[in-house]
Structure 1
Amino acid sequence: MAASLRFSGLKTPPTYSFPKQTTSLQCHSASPTLLSFAAFRPSNSSILRNISLRRCCESRVFRVCCQGGNVDVIQRNEFEAASSGEAENQLTCVMKFGGSSVASAERMREVADLILSFPNERPVIVLSAMGKTTNKLLLAGEKAVSCGVTNVDAIEELNFIKDLHHRTADELGVERSIVDGHLEVLEQLLKGIAMMKELTLRTKDYLVSFGECMSTRIFAAYLNKIGVKARQYDAFEIGFITTDDFTNADILEATYPAVAKRLNDDWISDPAIPIVTGFLGKGWRSSAITTLGRGGSDLTATTIGKALGLREIQVWKDVDGVLTCDPNIYQHAEPVPYLTFEEAAELAYFGAQVLHPQSMRPAREGDIPVRVKNSYNPNAPGTLITRNRDMSKAVLTSIVLKRNVTMLDIVSTRMLGQFGFLAKVFSIFEDLGISVDVVATSEVSTSLTLDPSKLWSRELIQQASVRFRSSCFD
């Protein structure tokens, strides 16, 4: 005899819809291994026709309960529920805090309170070094070159860094041992610099990395102390792969899958707020620590945002967003409420200090909004950076100033009507590794500026001048 098959509270795929009333089906086989049945809507369409129970359970995720002659099919969608649960518990955003935001124990407490004021967020935290630590490390390295090995202990900047991090750990109630190992290695590094009487770019990057490594360890320890589970990460250990351009490295594409795998795997196996060092990476050839240039923590944040496909990237600064001009020059500067990725990238490239020049690229590629906020004034709306914005009332967005720019003028009447002149000029710059910033041309002259963030010397400019004469004007 055919058993009665009754659907109770069945959840169907989005493309189909059963009527709300109970649907009766006829079971044509009582075999526990293969039970074929068909379900019909009171319309012309039909689904699940002649599908084995085993396949039905796999593809539709139903559970079939047989009790006597009755077979009840009830909702079973463990995979969907698990996926939904995972989605609800996935990391949601990046929160990046600059050096001034974590400059002291008090500021770290405020940042922790700020993070916890968003209970619905599951953020990745990116931190810079504490306060002026990066500058102090560079000064310590420069002094070590000439002070002699026996005098390294007396370097003022080294003692300042030790005192700052020990005092911060004490005030936050975490163990000094969290940073003691790094401070010991830092002192040994400075002695090595003193012995070699040289501070190479590679060593300089390693030197400044101690700032982020210590600030993130202190902050992660404090969060764990107050009952917020956190885990510290060094960016160069979780997949931030860069070029070997020390002091100004670029992030490579291999970074995105590597970072996503590490952070996602750790989060799934043991959820804890990731505390990641900003500004740092690892050279793909040298495997040495590299840095991303000044403000590189912004690039770290947007890279993580793209890698994980997060909802938003928050960059917390000490100003109320991207401003209409430099507040140090004009004190009545106002925040710009909305920007496009292109506008933000241009402003950053031409001198705006709020963002790293390259930081917009990952956000634009991932189409992830970037919100610039003030950690000292979290209620201020800040600046929202997206792909598009209303341009109907846009006249002038912001004014920026770029200092220490070198301009070259190339003047020759032979330029007039000559094919490939600029190609020759830029080929020479490429060969010499000189980065060009802005170009303006006329009939008989070309004026261009050199990017001050890139390394070049007067000797290189002289070499370029000689090659211009021989290649372009002969």
Structure 2
Amino acid sequence: MTLKVLKFGGSSVGSAEALRRAAGIVRDELPKGGLVVVSALKGTTDQIIDACSAAGRGDLPQAHSGLAALHARHLAVAQELGLTEAVLPAWEPLFTRLDQLLTGMAMLGEATPRARDAALAVGETLSANLAALCFKGTFRDVREVMKTDARFGKARPLLDELRGAAAPWREALEGGALWVTQGFLGSSPEGITTTLGRGGSDTSATLLGEALGAGEVQIWTDVDGVLSADPSLVQEARPIPQMSLGEAEALSAFGAKVLHADSLAPGGRAGFRLVVANTLRPGASRTEILPEPPSRTAGAVTSVAYKEGISLLRFPASAGLEPPLEAARSLEEAGALRFGLISSPAGTLLAVRSETHAAAEVLGTLASSGAASGLSCESGWAVVALVGEGLRADPVAALRHLAALGQEPVGGLLTGSSTVSIAFLVPESRLGDLIPRLHDRCVLEAQEIS
């Protein structure tokens, strides 16, 4: 049998109704067994992070208030499903553990990354235990197999150890077992709980798919696969039935709501089919992300992506390369995302997005101290990308597509190393007009011509 791994995000298991829908999908997709990976119930991770923050600053009553709300919400979902008595034996020690962790953080006056990972693991495990009962499967703790290093908060998988630990799971699942496990979590070489960071649950599913030799990994979310543009800006946005791994990686890099880049790498290594589908509409269109590129018309663009909130740091030529490289390192260490680093005889441009409070502080310090050296910092920019395997077949087409920009104030081109995308910087204020125009000109008209 071809082994499948299904992953359900927080919105897909966020209520009793959502869990019932997910259970129906599991019955249809895994009639002969397989592996299901679930996230914490929607909002749970944020609640736990808030409780940890309160405990870390010594506000234990506020932390306990968050814990009580978390407890009440989970009980309400279990009661609606009629599973309270069945799930409480697994849940009670988990809530006790979270209480102990919060109390310890309050006593120390600090929420360390290690303690925060241990607390976040409670949310994932609560969900997985409930889902296992709802799906009529068996809960197995992902930390048995998801071996990582000890970088708490952003652990990296140890692939050889992961493959070795997954062998018993593969045997059982191929024998017809239906197991439900957590996403996002791992275990360090010392057996201490870790988390995988951004996109961790999707990454868990694809890493497990790789280690288990799965033929297909399905990511169930709340959209009809991957679309040709953001539907909030482009009413004519269309689902993309099939796309290449390279297209998915480019879209992820440039802000489209597709899978995180870390979750795509296992598919490239293992060659399984990756499917994105809608929990709310299981029969609707899906997107298959294939290891081998699908057929594309030369020059065709598959999708238009964008990301807002970009800041541009402009360094004068006299600064050389060391200051912009050091700024990039400092910002990334603080949690910023780098979208471009362009150097020329006229100077260097660094495009970043502050994803954390710490990154925003670093950016503010650079902006306030840079005037003396000629550094300027501009906010209110966005990165826009045209993505498609057709650009690989006809690289000159990218220049023709850029003609659609007309007189737009472009801040810079970000070609990078990808041959399936071209990106550029524009003011955020232009997105509402520019994205529909690019979609119409570069995606729809090109499809009609072909």
- Tell me if TM exceeds 0.5: yes
CA distance in 2, matches of 1:259, 1:251: 12
Q: Aligned to 2:153, which of 243, 247, 256? A: 247
Match of 2:425 in 1: none
| Structure 1 SS opposite 2:238 | coil
Q: Aligned to 2:21, which of 110, 123, 129? A: 110
Match of 1:297 in 2: 201
| Structure 2 SS opposite 1:250 | coil
After TM superposition, the structure 1 = structure 2 runs for residues 303-382 of structure 1, keeping only pairs within 5 Å, are: 303-382=207-286
Q: Does 1:445 align with 2:347?
A: yes
Letter of the 2:140 partner, please give it: Y
| Structure 2 SS opposite 1:447 | strand
In the TM superposition, residue 457 of structure 1 has moved relative to its aligned partner by 6.3
Does the aligned pair in 2 maintain the 1:148–1:195 contact within 8 Å? no
CA distance in 1, matches of 2:287, 2:332: 36
CA distance in 2, matches of 1:289, 1:404: 33
In the TM superposition, residue 425 of structure 1 has moved relative to its aligned partner by 5.6
Q: Does 1:263 align with 2:263?
A: no
Consecutive unaligned residues in structure 2, runs of 5 or more:
374-450
Match of 2:123 in 1: 211
In the TM superposition, residue 336 of structure 1 has moved relative to its aligned partner by 1.6
Q: Does 1:99 align with 2:10?
A: yes
Match of 2:112 in 1: 200
Q: Aligned to 2:90, which of 175, 178, 191? A: 178
Letter of the 1:358 partner, please give it: D
Count of residue pairs the alignment pairs up = 364
Does the aligned pair in 2 maintain the 1:320–1:373 contact within 8 Å? yes
Deviates more, 1:329-338 or 1:132-141: 329-338
Using structure 1 for the length normalisation, give the TM-score.
0.69
Q: Does 1:162 align with 2:71?
A: yes
In the TM superposition, residue 369 of structure 1 has moved relative to its aligned partner by 1.1
Match of 1:410 in 2: 315
CA distance in 2, matches of 1:331, 1:141: 41
Q: Does 1:128 align with 2:34?
A: no
Does the aligned pair in 2 maintain the 1:345–1:358 contact within 8 Å? no
Match of 2:418 in 1: none
CA distance in 2, matches of 1:138, 1:159: 14
Deviates more, 1:191-200 or 1:97-106: 191-200
In the TM superposition, residue 464 of structure 1 has moved relative to its aligned partner by 12
Residues 188 and 120 (structure 1), Cα distance of their counterparts in 2 relative to 1, 3 Å cut: closer
- 1:125-154 superposed Cα distances (whole Å, 9 cap, x missing partner): 01011111111111222223346335543x
In the TM superposition, residue 348 of structure 1 has moved relative to its aligned partner by 1.3
Letter of the 2:231 partner, please give it: P
Residues 245 and 408 (structure 1), Cα distance of their counterparts in 2 relative to 1, 3 Å cut: farther
CA distance in 1, matches of 2:261, 2:127: 24
Match of 1:232 in 2: 139
Letter of the 2:17 partner, please give it: E
Match of 1:58 in 2: none
- 1:76-112 superposed Cα distances (whole Å, 9 cap, x missing partner): xxxxxxxxxxxx4xx6111111111111122112211
Residues 343 and 456 (structure 1), Cα distance of their counterparts in 2 relative to 1, 3 Å cut: same
Residues 414 and 105 (structure 1), Cα distance of their counterparts in 2 relative to 1, 3 Å cut: closer
CA distance in 1, matches of 2:319, 2:26: 62
In the TM superposition, residue 414 of structure 1 has moved relative to its aligned partner by 7.4
Letter of the 2:200 partner, please give it: G
Does the aligned pair in 1 maintain the 2:245–2:289 contact within 8 Å? yes
Does the aligned pair in 2 maintain the 1:94–1:313 contact within 8 Å? yes
Does the aligned pair in 2 maintain the 1:165–1:179 contact within 8 Å? no
Consecutive unaligned residues in structure 1, runs of 5 or more:
1-87, 225-229, 416-420
RMSD: 3.1
- 1:332-352 superposed Cα distances (whole Å, 9 cap, x missing partner): 532222211111112112212
Q: Aligned to 1:276, which of 158, 168, 181? A: 181
For the pair shown, the structure with the greater C-alpha radius of gyration is 1
- 1:410-448 superposed Cα distances (whole Å, 9 cap, x missing partner): 222475xxxxx57x9647855996474422222221112
Residues 372 and 267 (structure 1), Cα distance of their counterparts in 2 relative to 1, 3 Å cut: closer
Does the aligned pair in 2 maintain the 1:314–1:371 contact within 8 Å? yes
After TM superposition, the structure 1 = structure 2 runs for residues 21-100 of structure 1, keeping only pairs within 5 Å, are: 88=1, 92-100=3-11
Does the aligned pair in 1 maintain the 2:33–2:173 contact within 8 Å? no
After TM superposition, the structure 1 = structure 2 runs for residues 6-21 of structure 1, keeping only pairs within 5 Å, are: none
CA distance in 2, matches of 1:102, 1:171: 13
Residues 461 and 150 (structure 1), Cα distance of their counterparts in 2 relative to 1, 3 Å cut: closer
CA distance in 1, matches of 2:367, 2:186: 32
| Structure 2 SS opposite 1:325 | coil
In the TM superposition, residue 277 of structure 1 has moved relative to its aligned partner by 0.6
Higher relative contact order (CA 8 A, sep 6+): 2
Using structure 2 for the length normalisation, give the TM-score.
0.72
CA distance in 1, matches of 2:165, 2:354: 31
Q: Which has the higher helix share?
A: 2
Letter of the 2:351 partner, please give it: T
Residues 337 and 162 (structure 1), Cα distance of their counterparts in 2 relative to 1, 3 Å cut: same
CA distance in 2, matches of 1:203, 1:407: 36
Does the aligned pair in 1 maintain the 2:278–2:286 contact within 8 Å? yes
CA distance in 2, matches of 1:462, 1:298: 35
Does the aligned pair in 2 maintain the 1:137–1:208 contact within 8 Å? yes
Letter of the 2:128 partner, please give it: T
Letter of the 1:139 partner, please give it: D
Does the aligned pair in 1 maintain the 2:35–2:173 contact within 8 Å? no
CA distance in 1, matches of 2:328, 2:150: 20
CA distance in 2, matches of 1:146, 1:327: 41
Residues 120 and 186 (structure 1), Cα distance of their counterparts in 2 relative to 1, 3 Å cut: closer
